[in-house]
Amino acid sequence: MRRHLIPLAAGTAAIATIVSIGYSAPPAAAPKARYQMDVATTSGFGAGGANPMKMMFGGGRGGSVAHTLILRLGSTLAPAGGAPQADHFMPAGMQLGPSVPLTSPQPTPTGEMPGEMRRPKGRLLIFWGCGAHVGPGQPVIVDFSKLGQQQFPPGLFTADVPVDRGPTASNSRTYGEWPNSQSNKSAKPGSSLIGDHRVAGNYSPEIKFALDQDFMAPLNGRGSEQSDGSQMLSWNSVPQATGYYAWLIGAQGSGGEGADMVWWTSASGKQFGGGLADWIAPDVVPGLIARKIVMPPSQTSCQIPAEVKRAAGGFMMTQLYAYGPERDFAYPPRPANPRLAWKPDWTARVRYRSNTTVMLGMPGMEDMGDNDGGAANGNGGNEAPKKKCKPRITLGGFKPC
């Protein structure tokens, strides 16, 4: 099975390189301090610290759920006395102690990257759209060997989906973040964001806000093979979801480092903007739904075309996103009269999403994105979960169900 993972890893790195080109955060402005909380519920294959290899070979469970936070504080001010210092004081329900430290990262040296940078090999076959079969003009083929020459098909990667990076070390005079090397805490399955939050430090005004929106519910994704050779990806409806988006990467199992990679997206057109794999503001999502870039919150399935399955072979790693609500705070608040000048001391933004990883095309693994346990599957915990068939490795090789 390792030969499946080698081309996937190489292809994922190449895709990350492609997506990052041309996508940078717009210049930030105005308040003395900006704070951002990115709140995620992650479920499915490999979530919650589960070992993906053990799950693939029958030694683990695929239904873990993890709650994650990314906290970032950016300021136009220099620290008052000494090194930068800031903390986020949490509600008791978060189970992280009184506070977590927002540490200023050390600058990384510029220059050559360590190790030898090798040009990726093989090709990337790009598909898009839900349905039994692909539309005209597919696949678009990208030769990895030509990436350095910037020979991309025209119109493939667009900036139609905005990317909001928020505060970063590069757009702030002083900056702090969590998680970091000083704190390896993590939210627990029962952690709750509800309650009062306070951010205090020596390089920003004190920031206070209260949250009434908790972590989003987990996504339960599963796949099922169709008689026409396509794959049906289906999921539960997540409360507060504003829309859904899916993508997958796959590779033929017999290939090596130079194998053909497959990249598919649920968008109805060639929309591979970096923001689709990020957080998207609720006021942006309806326009993307109208253009069929994002699936509406009422949709709970998407048929992956037979041509994608045929090109990808038996190994397709699928990511499914449920975009969620957003909470914005500022002090002083924005004046009711839009003609009045407004320059807040601080702003704070809390963004929510839920996402899951589903392995498609491998017998016995299509339902490993489900969350184990009765409550997660809607039976209230009164029924024992059905025993799942688990593929395993034997002396004779990979043995499916």
Tens-digit pLDDT profile for residues 342-387: 889 999 999 999 999 998 865 545 554 455 433 333 333 333 444 4
Mean pLDDT of the chain: 79
Residue 382 domain-assigned (yes or no):
no
Q: 144 Cβ partners below 8 Å, 6+ apart?
A: 14, 119, 120, 121, 122, 123, 124
User: What is the number of domains present in the chain?
Assistant: 1
What letter would DSSP give residue 90? P
Phi-psi group of 115: left, alpha or beta (phi > 0 → left; psi -120 to 50 → alpha; rest → beta): left
- Span 91-139, pLDDT tens digits: 999 999 999 999 998 876 555 554 555 666 788 899 999 999 999 999 9
Residue 6 domain-assigned (yes or no):
yes
pLDDT at site 331: 95
Nearest Cα to 260, choosing from 148, 132, 127?
127
Range 221-226 average pLDDT:
92
Q: Burial level of 318, CB count in 10 A (0-12/13-18/19+)?
A: buried
Percent of the chain exceeding pLDDT 90 equals 52
- Span 239-279, pLDDT tens digits: 999 999 999 999 875 555 667 889 999 999 887 767 888 89
pTM for the model stands at: 0.79
Cα–Cα distance measured from residue 181 to residue 217, given in angstroms and rounded to the nearest whole number = 29
Q: Is residue 20 predicted with pLDDT exceeding 80?
A: no
CB 218 within 8 A of CB 371: yes
Range of the domain at 142: 2-104+119-334+342-371
Residue 308 domain-assigned (yes or no):
yes
Looking at per-residue pLDDT, the higher value among 21 and 356 belongs to 356
Q: Is residue 5 predicted with pLDDT exceeding 60?
A: no
pLDDT at site 58: 38
Residue found under tokens 């590779």: 251
Type of residue numbered 63: G
Residue 392 domain-assigned (yes or no):
no
Count the Cβ atoms, other than its own, within 10 Å of residue 112: 7
pLDDT grade, residue 315 (50/70/90)? Answer: confident
Write the DSSP assignment of 339-357 as a string of letters.
Answer: TS----SEEEEEEEEEEEE
Q: 151 Cβ partners below 8 Å, 6+ apart?
A: 143
pLDDT grade, residue 339 (50/70/90)? Answer: confident
Element (H, E) at 309: helix 306-312
- Span 170-194, pLDDT tens digits: 999 999 999 998 887 889 889 999 9
Residue 16 domain-assigned (yes or no):
yes
Cα–Cα distance measured from residue 365 to residue 318, given in angstroms and rounded to the nearest whole number = 12
Beta 99-101 vs 207-211: how paired, if at all?
A: unpaired
Residue 262 domain-assigned (yes or no):
yes
Q: For residue 392, which phi and psi values (nearest 5 degrees)?
A: -145, 160
Looking at per-residue pLDDT, the higher value among 154 and 179 belongs to 179
Residue 89 domain-assigned (yes or no):
yes
Residue 322 domain-assigned (yes or no):
yes
